[in-house]
């Protein structure tokens, strides 16, 4: 590939400056602040910080509730990722078959990505409301079947479905693009070789979709750890009895409601390293196995 | 092994009809080449036989069974694609054996067959490679092996050699013919390359804008082209054309430069007054002194072809070429005479482009212009 070079470094610096400024203000500055708070005792009302070393981390990691939160977050990440990728894959496979009207389905399937997380949460709160939404009809037939306000498992399932629904659109775009980049002659060769539609999907399309699949997997997992706040906040507020208290929501609750800035800061540092570690592991060890040339 | 029957087959995309009622029969064990320029509908016709494209009208039957509504896998055809269509995530062995795997053949049996077929096309060293690690010719062989292993009723080739370089193309062409001679499968081969067509075909089908202009052996198509289109398409360098008119009173064809060809009076009467196109192949003429031959033109330029030379002349503003193995030198603008082998003159109606048959005796003489 050809590269363009700026002869004048000042122009280059000037062009890059706005982006660097944004990254600095919204990433490095808060991160360094969080790092500072995590290793000190930060006063809720301001004032002198006291050096704490690893005391904040020790307190969190010995707290059973934090481990509960981690467990819930992993369940949420796995559930939402599997559900949304599964749904997106099915939709993309059908859109790729170019059945009648697929262009409209395609637009329809992309649309949800434009909806903000709190709006999604609000909409699903109505849908899954045990006494007012469609689930109330099910409850009328089978009393006590669905109660996310009292039953923690139901609440978590509800949050997972809402989170997955929001992510479906994003995954769909990538899956569809991935499927459409598979040369038609391969599918046709499969048809000539005697493979049925389902067999062709299994033996040809899905294996060739693997690089896309991997990329989407990484994005989904990291996203479900960091981007689930809006849905939890509008739907359950972390309840009932902390059953949906995901790591990212616990940071907010501990920090801004409990005013434990140092504890919350330490949690965000842990979350950050968790996400970094996940990404590195996935890219280094999994990605290698899914490339074809 | 099966014959293919194509009856009044049409294909339209929306309102655009691209194939206008084509009839063709391919006999058992025959190698038929469909030849035509891009966009003439030849690949579409092949894909309709394969089942990759719906048939808008008419019927296609393979081995006596109408296949219009059958899936590709139920038709018993194997196809070699232009870009090979190899599965990039499978090894050569897996690519070749995929059809058998789908058909449910047991692994040991399958592997043995894959090995035998791979050996027959010279691929046994590459069994564990992925297609990405193969050269163009090797990929082509994998595509062939994948088709052969199924022992199909019908072989379909969709411009399989057009992605190869010139030398390899000739080599693969020979290989395809050799394979055909060995397994004698009914084959339909689509190409835009007339050399491929002439050398491979038992019979050739020349397509033009969604219709068939001529079906015949390569010799027939070359010696007796049915239309002006076929005459101009087959043969390299291409045939020359001169416009003329049949005159019944004098029993001649008058050319634009006042040259005239005497023809039999009954032929002249049959086509009295008709505007015609005369076709002469560059290889059916020789150069001579101006006035000594049938035609006279002015020399334009020369192309060296090695064993012979191609002389570009202008006859009354019409470009005209003559192939000659003796290579005289001319200056631009020199007057050059052309002596034609009149037994190889082709006459076509100017309006419909259809061949007008004149017996070899009918064309007696071509008089040079005064």
Compute CA B296 distance to the chain's CA centroid, rounded to the nearest angstrom. Answer: 32
Surface of A (168-197) touching B: CB under 8 A = 183, 185-186, 188-196
Provide φ and ψ at B316, rounded to 5°: 50, 55
Q: Which residues pair with B61 in a beta bridge?
A: B5, B66
Average pLDDT, chain A: 84
B/e letters for A125-152, b = 16+ CB within 10 Å, e = fewer, are: beebbbeebebeeebeeeeeebbbeebb
Compute CA B283 distance to the chain's CA centroid, rounded to the nearest angstrom. Answer: 19
Q: Does B130 touch chain A (CB under 8 A)?
A: yes
Distances (CA, A) of A36 to A32, A180, A254, A271: 6, 48, 17, 16
Cβ–Cβ under 8 Å, residues A290 and A206:
no
For B14: left if phi > 0, alpha if psi spans -120 to 50, otherwise beta; the answer is left
Exposed/middle/buried for residue A262 (C-beta within 10 Å: 0-12, 13-18, 19+): buried
Give the 3-state secondary structure of residue B359. Answer: coil
Indicate yes or no: CB of B146 within 8 angstroms of CB of A194: no
Nearest residue to A39 (alpha-carbon basis) of A51, A23, A24: A51
How is residue A139 written in tokens? 């409850």
Nearest residue to B43 (alpha-carbon basis) of B172, B210, B221: B210
Regarding an ipTM greater than 0.85, the answer is no
Average pLDDT, chain B: 87
Indicate yes or no: CB of A188 within 8 angstroms of CB of B130: no
Question: Angle at CA A181, nearest 5°, toward B78 and B77?
Answer: 5
Give the separation between CA A252 and CA A8, rounded to whole angstroms: 45
Residue B252 has pLDDT above 80, yes or no: no
The pLDDT, as a whole number, for residue A107 is 82
- A185, A199, A292 ranked by CB distance to B132: nearest: A292
Mean pLDDT of B29-57: 91
Question: Angle at CA A78, nearest 5°, toward A74 and A83?
Answer: 150
Give the separation between CA A221 and CA A286, rounded to whole angstroms: 14
Please report which confidence band the pLDDT of residue B48 belongs to, taking 50, 70 and 90 as the band edges. very high
| H or E element in which residue B12 lies | strand B4-13
The pLDDT, as a whole number, for residue A290 is 56
Residue A293 has pLDDT above 50, yes or no: no
- More confident site: A50 or B65: B65
Tell me which residue has tokens 């995954």: A171
pLDDT digits (tens, 9 = 90+) for B87-145: 999 999 999 999 999 888 898 999 999 999 888 888 888 888 898 888 888 898 899 89
Mean pLDDT of A156-160: 90
**CB-CB neighbors (< 8 A) of A293 in chain B:** 88, 130, 132
What is the rounded (10 degree) CA torsion for A183, B43, B130, B75? 100
Residue A86 has pLDDT above 90, yes or no: yes
Cβ–Cβ under 8 Å, residues B189 and B113:
no
The pLDDT, as a whole number, for residue B301 is 92
Surface of A (220-259) touching B: CB under 8 A = none
Please report which confidence band the pLDDT of residue A291 belongs to, taking 50, 70 and 90 as the band edges. low
The pLDDT, as a whole number, for residue B132 is 87
Q: What proportion of chain A, given as a percentage, has pLDDT over 90?
A: 13
Pairing of strands B275-280, A50-51: unpaired
Q: What proportion of chain B, given as a percentage, has pLDDT over 70?
A: 96
Q: Which residues pair with B244 in a beta bridge?
A: B255, B276
The pLDDT, as a whole number, for residue B339 is 87
Give the separation between CA A57 and CA B190, rounded to whole angstroms: 72
Indicate yes or no: CB of B73 within 8 angstroms of CB of A193: yes
How is residue A82 written in tokens? 């599997």
Residue B359 has pLDDT above 70, yes or no: no
Mutate to test the interface with A, among B48, B79, B100, B159 (most CBs of A within 10 A): B79
* Residue A2 distance to chain B (closest CA, Å): 25
Give the separation between CA B263 and CA B248, rounded to whole angstroms: 9
Give the separation between CA B189 and CA B120, rounded to whole angstroms: 21
Indicate yes or no: CB of B85 within 8 angstroms of CB of A207: no
Mean pLDDT of B67-76: 88
The pLDDT, as a whole number, for residue B360 is 45
Cβ–Cβ under 8 Å, residues B297 and B314:
yes
Q: Which residue of A has its CA nearest to B51?
A: A192
**CB-CB neighbors (< 8 A) of B104 in chain A:** none
Q: Does B155 touch chain A (CB under 8 A)?
A: no
Q: Where are the beta strands (DSSP E) in B248-328?
A: 252-255, 260-262, 275-280, 285-288, 295-304, 309-315, 318-324
Distances (CA, A) of B308 to B325, B326, B327: 4, 7, 7
Residue B45 has pLDDT above 90, yes or no: yes
The pLDDT, as a whole number, for residue B310 is 93
pTM of the model: 0.77
Give the separation between CA B194 and CA B162, rounded to whole angstroms: 12
- CB atoms under 10 Å from CB of B227, counted, come to 18
Please report which confidence band the pLDDT of residue A185 belongs to, taking 50, 70 and 90 as the band edges. confident
Q: Pick the range with the lowest mean pLDDT from A6-10, A82-86, A274-278.
A: A6-10
The pLDDT, as a whole number, for residue A211 is 83
Indicate yes or no: CB of B89 within 8 angstroms of CB of A207: yes
Compute CA A21 distance to the chain's CA centroid, rounded to the nearest angstrom. Answer: 26
Into which CATH architecture does domain A72-289 fall? Orthogonal Bundle (1.10)
* Residue B212 distance to chain A (closest CA, Å): 26
Q: Does B77 touch chain A (CB under 8 A)?
A: yes
The pLDDT, as a whole number, for residue B30 is 93
**CB-CB neighbors (< 8 A) of B83 in chain A:** 183, 185
Q: Which residues pair with B319 in a beta bridge?
A: B314
Indicate yes or no: CB of A293 within 8 angstroms of CB of B88: yes
Indicate yes or no: CB of A195 within 8 angstroms of CB of B71: no
Mean pLDDT of B245-272: 77
Please report which confidence band the pLDDT of residue A3 belongs to, taking 50, 70 and 90 as the band edges. low
The pLDDT, as a whole number, for residue B361 is 44
Cβ–Cβ under 8 Å, residues B342 and B363:
yes
Residue B173 has pLDDT above 80, yes or no: yes
Q: Does A201 touch chain B (CB under 8 A)?
A: no
Indicate yes or no: CB of A195 within 8 angstroms of CB of B102: yes
The pLDDT, as a whole number, for residue B362 is 43
Give the separation between CA B171 and CA B164, rounded to whole angstroms: 10
Provide φ and ψ at B215, rounded to 5°: -125, 130
DSSP A107-128: HHHHGGGGS-HHHHHHHHHHHT
């Amino acid at each position: 590939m050809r590269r363009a070079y700026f002869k004048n470094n000042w122009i280059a610096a000037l062009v890059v400056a706005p982006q660097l400024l944004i990254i600095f203000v919204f990433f490095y500055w808060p991160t360094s602040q969080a790092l500072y708070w995590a290793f000190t005792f930060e006063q809720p009302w301001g004032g002198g910080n006291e050096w704490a070393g690893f005391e904040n981390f020790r307190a969190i990691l010995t707290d059973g509730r934090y481990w509960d939160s981690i467990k819930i977050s992993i369940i949420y990440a796995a559930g939402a990722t599997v559900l949304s990728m599964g749904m997106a894959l099915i939709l993309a496979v059908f859109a790729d078959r170019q059945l009648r009207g697929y262009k409209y389905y395609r637009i329809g399937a992309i649309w949800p990505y434009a909806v903000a997380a709190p709006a999604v949460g609000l909409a699903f709160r109505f849908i899954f409301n045990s006494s007012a939404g469609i689930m109330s009809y099910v409850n009328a037939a089978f009393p006590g079947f669905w109660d996310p306000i009292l039953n923690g498992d139901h609440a978590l399932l509800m949050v997972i479905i809402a989170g997955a629904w929001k992510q479906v659109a994003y995954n769909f775009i990538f899956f569809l693009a991935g499927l459409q980049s598979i040369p038609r002659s391969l599918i046709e060769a499969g048809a000539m070789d005697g493979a049925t539609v389902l067999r062709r999907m299994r033996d040809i399309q899905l294996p060739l979709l693997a690089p896309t699949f991997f990329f989407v997997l990484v994005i989904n997992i990291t996203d479900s750890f960091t981007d689930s706040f809006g849905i939890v906040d509008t739907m359950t507020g972390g309840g009932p009895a902390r059953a949906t208290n995901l790591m990212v929501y616990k940071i907010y609750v501990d920090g801004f409601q409990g005013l434990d800035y140092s504890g919350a800061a330490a949690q965000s540092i842990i979350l950050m390293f968790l996400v970094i570690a996940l990404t590195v592991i996935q890219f280094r060890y999994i990605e290698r196995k899914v490339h074809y040339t | 092994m099966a014959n293919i029957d194509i009856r009044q087959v049409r294909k339209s995309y929306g309102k655009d009809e691209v194939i206008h009622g084509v009839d063709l029969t391919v006999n058992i064990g025959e190698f038929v080449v469909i030849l035509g320029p891009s966009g003439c509908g030849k690949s579409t016709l092949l894909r309709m036989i394969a089942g990759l494209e719906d048939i808008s009208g008419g019927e296609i039957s393979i081995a006596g069974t109408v296949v219009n509504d059958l899936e590709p896998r139920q038709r018993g055809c194997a196809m070699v694609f232009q870009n090979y269509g190899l599965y990039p995530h499978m090894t050569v062995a897996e690519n070749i054996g995929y059809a058998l795997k789908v058909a449910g053949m047991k692994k040991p049996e399958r592997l043995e067959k894959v090995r035998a077929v791979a050996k027959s096309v010279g691929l046994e060293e590459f069994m564990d490679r992925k297609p990405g690690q193969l050269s163009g010719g090797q990929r082509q062989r994998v595509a062939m092996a994948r088709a052969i292993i199924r022992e199909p009723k019908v072989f379909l080739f969709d411009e399989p050699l057009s992605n190869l370089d010139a030398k390899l193309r000739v080599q693969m062409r020979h290989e395809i013919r050799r394979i055909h001679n060995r397994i004698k499968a009914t084959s339909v081969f689509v190409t835009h390359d007339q050399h491929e067509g002439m050398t491979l075909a038992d019979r050739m089908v020349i397509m033009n804008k969604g219709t068939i202009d001529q079906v015949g052996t390569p010799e027939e198509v070359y010696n007796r082209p049915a239309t002006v289109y076929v005459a101009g398409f087959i043969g390299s360098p291409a045939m020359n054309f001169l416009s003329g008119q049949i005159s019944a009173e004098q029993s001649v064809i008058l050319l634009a430069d006042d040259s005239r060809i005497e023809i039999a009076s009954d032929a002249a009467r049959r086509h009295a007054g008709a505007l015609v196109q005369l076709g002469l192949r560059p290889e059916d003429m020789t150069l001579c002194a101006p006035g000594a031959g049938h035609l006279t033109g002015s020399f334009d330029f020369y192309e060296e072809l090695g064993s012979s030379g191609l002389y570009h002349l202008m006859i009354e503003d019409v470009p005209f070429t003559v192939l000659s193995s003796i290579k005289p030198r001319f200056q631009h603008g020199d007057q050059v005479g052309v002596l034609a082998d009149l037994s190889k003159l082709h006459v076509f109606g100017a309006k419909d482009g259809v061949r007008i048959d004149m017996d070899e005796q009918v064309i007696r003489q071509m008089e040079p212009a005064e």
